[in-house]
Structure 1
Amino acid sequence: MFKNKLYGETQIIQIEKVETLVLNYNGKGENNYSKSQSYWDKKKRSLKKSALFKNYISEKVFPPNYFKIMNRECKFKNEPDYKVILKENSDYFYLKCKFRGYLYNNFYDWARPDQIDSFKEFSEKVENPVYFAFGLGGCPNDPDNAFLCPLEKVKCKLKLKELEPWRIQCLDDVSRIIC
Structure 2
Amino acid sequence: MGILDNIRNPKGSNTVLNGVSDNLDTFCQQTLNITYAMGGSATPLDLLEKLKGNGKHNLTGVKTLKRYALLEETSTGSFLNKKSVYTLTPAGKYVSISLKSKRNEELNEEELEFLKDYTVFHGILKSNVSNQLLRLLYDTEDFMNVKTIGEKSGLGINGSGNTLKQLSAIGMLDEHRAGLGILLTAYNYRISELGRKTYESYNNINPDAKPVKTDNTENKEIKENSNPLSHKKGKDFETYIMDNLFPKESFDLLHVTPDAETNEKRYVESSRKPDLQFRDKKTGKVFYVECKYRSNLFNEKFEWSKSTEQAERYRNIEYLEEIPVYIAMGLMGTSDNPKKVFLMPLKEITYNSLYLSVLKDYEIKEDSNISKIINS
Structure 1 residues 114 and 46: CA distance shift in structure 2, 3 A: same
* Paired position in structure 2 for 1:164: 360
Paired residue total? 161
Task: Kindly report which structure 2 residues correspond to 1:24-173, keeping only aligned pairs within 5 A, or say none.
Answer: 24=123, 35-36=198-199, 43-70=227-254, 71-73=256-258, 75=269, 79-111=273-305, 112-154=307-349, 155-173=351-369
Code of the aligned partner of 1:84 = F
* Paired position in structure 2 for 1:177: 373
Structure exhibiting the larger radius of gyration computed from Cα positions: 2
Code of the aligned partner of 1:162 = V
Structure 1 residues 58 and 120: CA distance shift in structure 2, 3 A: same
1:81–1:95 CA contact under 8 A, matched in 2: yes
Deviation at 1:152, TM superposition (A): 1.2
- TM-score, structure 1 length as denominator? 0.78
Higher relative contact order (CA 8 A, sep 6+): 1
Larger strand percent: 1
Structure 1 residues 90 and 76: CA distance shift in structure 2, 3 A: closer
Partners of 1:44 and 1:76 in 2: CA distance: 21
Code of the aligned partner of 1:54 = E
Name stretches of at least 5 consecutive residues in structure 2 with no aligned partner: 1-35, 42-87, 91-109, 111-117, 125-169, 173-193, 206-225, 259-267
Partners of 1:69 and 1:168 in 2: CA distance: 20
Deviation at 1:78, TM superposition (A): 5.0
Partners of 1:89 and 1:109 in 2: CA distance: 32
Matched, 1:23 2:126: no
* Paired position in structure 1 for 2:40: 7
Structure 1 residues 68 and 51: CA distance shift in structure 2, 3 A: same
Deviation at 1:134, TM superposition (A): 0.5
Partners of 1:88 and 1:157 in 2: CA distance: 33
Name stretches of at least 5 consecutive residues in structure 1 with no aligned partner: 13-19, 26-30
**RMSD of aligned C-alpha atoms?**
3.0
Per-residue CA deviations over 1:5-57 (Å, capped at 9, x if unaligned) read 99379x99xxxxxxx944338xxxxx89862259x6x9110000000000000
1:85–1:91 CA contact under 8 A, matched in 2: yes
1:53–1:97 CA contact under 8 A, matched in 2: yes
Code of the aligned partner of 2:122 = L
SS of match in other structure, 1:105: coil
Deviation at 1:77, TM superposition (A): 5.8
1:72–1:83 CA contact under 8 A, matched in 2: no
Identity of aligned residues (%): 26
Deviation at 1:65, TM superposition (A): 0.6
SS of match in other structure, 1:51: helix
SS of match in other structure, 1:63: coil
Q: Which of structure 1's runs of 4+ aligned residues deviate more than 6 A?
A: none
Code of the aligned partner of 1:36 = Y
Larger helix percent: 2
Deviation at 1:76, TM superposition (A): 6.6
Per-residue CA deviations over 1:62-105 (Å, capped at 9, x if unaligned) read 11110112324562765211111101132110110000000001
- TM-score, structure 2 length as denominator? 0.39
